[in-house]
A and B are shown apart, each in its own frame.
Chain A
Amino acid sequence: MPLTKRIIPCIDVDLDENGDAAVYTGVNFEDLRYTGDPVEMAKKYNAAGADEFVFLDITASAEGRETMLDTVSAVADECFIPLTVGGGIRTREDIKETLRAGADKVSINSGAIANPELVTKGAESFGSQCIVISVDSKRRFDERGEHYVEVDGESCWFECTVKGGREGTGLDVVEWAVEAEERGAGELFVNSIDADGTEEGYDIPLTAAVCDAVSTPVIASSGCGGPEDMYEVFTDAGADAALAASIFHFDEYGIDEVKAYLDEHGLPIRL
């Protein structure tokens, strides 16, 4: 058997009004809705047969940071599958603290764009297997890109954005993916601002462009509305793993249901 395609639930964690960590689920990076307790959700997905678990700290505040590391530890204690933690990681020390709290991998986004050397240093110090580079891509139909693909009959490139898609960086996603891989990133985590929260399917042109450019495993994220979308991103784009949040959090689909569908359609899946 080849390696299985991985199904990964993801939680976005913020502080609630009492200063406790809570999971929120959003649409287009806005309209956050309270979804549950991080530890309870980790238990649920662990028991349900998730292949990995992703925890994103969206507090982006200094006071949130400590609470988050405690929450990461509590989640890690219930996670007998690989745990990736991201959000606000900017230094080697941040990586170390997060791994020490119990994460198996860290996901780094704007911290790596601001300081690409962090990818190199992180991989050297802790191993490529724990350095995941995450991008928030936005489609651009102008002349500033490096790698163009045809989308809806128009020529399009993908820009790395920061601050939940509100700020462009001018950096081409495909270009950056190749650089991150060369610097030692062990996986690429590809989010799409255009597809996020739509439940209309993953950004296939984006995911395919990244998969074609690198040999590092690619985790497709944003836009999943159901198992057909996962099938599409595995077969049409070549993703190694598919991440989803709302379809699992709002019980539209169970992990087992999604996996059974993909298995029936001939994909290698851990049942």
Chain B
Amino acid sequence: MNSRADIVVVDYGLGNLRSATRGLERAGADVTITDDPEAFAAADGVVLPGVGAFREGMENAGPYRDALTEHAEAGRPLFGICLGMQMLLTSSEEAERAGQGDVTGLDLIPGRNVRFRDVETVPHMGWNDLSVERDHPVVEGVDGKYAYFVHSYYAEPDDDDAVMASTDYGRRFPAIVANEAGNVFGTQFHPEKSGETGLRILRNFVDYCVEQ
């Protein structure tokens, strides 16, 4: 791919924007960091980064909810990273555990985020390998490769077909989830911190955005 994609990274006050941005630039994207939902319309793809807690994430992302939904429903690429991925689902045990009641996610991929149980150490932190479960341009060339994870909750989509790649940590859990159309997806791991494999996913994403 020679053409560059215009990617918007959503600055909703959380997350390591700098490394996500650098990773996308290295993957060949022109990146704009923005807190303006109007900017999504002109972009080839939108990235929702994230580090932190579900409730705080959803509260901060509140002003972007409509624009993100609109973008996703128009069939345009939306990529969530870590907490950004969890926010693509409907709800999370994290908010309930923290006594914050029911916090509604973006609900673009129906399902819930749940906490790891019966494992020695939570968070799941470190390098673990990916098994690709569903063909998609974004996961080309990454089956069996390692990615860097840091998380205590994982996605449990209602539909098994939403699992694009899985990983083992005490049990199999989704490492990458996607909606049915395949234009909305998210990685539980950090592609911007997953060395060559992560950069490959970001390059795949940039190419996918150009093709759409």
Contacts and interface: CB of A to CB of B under 8 A. Distances in A.
Given A4-B126, A4-B127, A186-B125, A76 B19 contact: yes
A99 B19 CA distance: 11
Contact of A80 (B16, B18, B146, B192): B192
Taking residues whose C-beta sits less than 8 angstroms from the other chain, chain B's interface range is 20 to 34
A129 B146 contact: no
A61 interface: no
A46 B195 contact: yes
Contact of B146 (A46, A76, A102, A270): A270
Q: How large is the interface on A (under 10, 10 to 19, 20 to 34, 35 or more residues)?
A: 20 to 34
A102 B121 CA distance: 26
Contact of A81 (B128, B150, B168, B195): B195
A253 B46 CA distance: 42
Interface in A64-109: 73, 76-77, 79-82, 99, 102, 104
B205 interface: no
Main secondary structure of the interface of A (DSSP, over half): loop
A3 B127 contact: yes
Nearest to B198: A80
A240 interface: yes
A1 interface: yes
Contacts of B199: 80
B188 to A, nearest CB: 13
Nearest to B148: A82
Contact of A1 (B51, B129, B150, B192): B129
B128 A129 contact: no
Contact of A129 (B18, B125, B168, B169): B125
A127 interface: yes
A217 B148 contact: no
B136 interface: no
